[in-house]
Amino acid sequence: MQIFIKKMNTYQPQPINTADVKLSEELRALTEKLAENVHEVWSAGRIADGWRYGEKRDDSRKLHPCLLPYNQLPESEKEYDRNTAIQTIKTIVKLGYKIEKP
């Protein structure tokens, strides 16, 4: 068990650097739909695991205040999902892929 703990303590995340990627207006607009979907996927997973809405998070009772429709989330939570969406799109672009609307 100590080996596992030692490895966890030395882990250095190295995400792909996307700082130089500039998104077009069309791709920036896409981020809101992706952010909403990120939340929907997360919510579906939580609900499937037996979680339900609660005003305060309670892991032992499986209650979470963010088990709400995306449009009812606090702006701070939406921003978290937006950042995930933006970084996903930027990574796709950085890796040389093109995102085109049909």
Confidence band, pLDDT 50/70/90 cuts, at residue 101: confident
Residue 1 has pLDDT above 60, yes or no: no
Confidence band, pLDDT 50/70/90 cuts, at residue 9: confident
Which residue did the predictor score with more confidence, 101 or 87?
Answer: 87
Nearest to 81 by CA among 47, 45, 33: 33
pLDDT digits (tens, 9 = 90+) for 33-80: 999 999 999 999 999 999 999 999 999 999 999 999 999 999 999 999
- 63 - beta bridge partners? 52, 58
What is the model's pTM?
0.81
State the CB neighbour count (10 A cutoff) for residue 99. Answer: 12
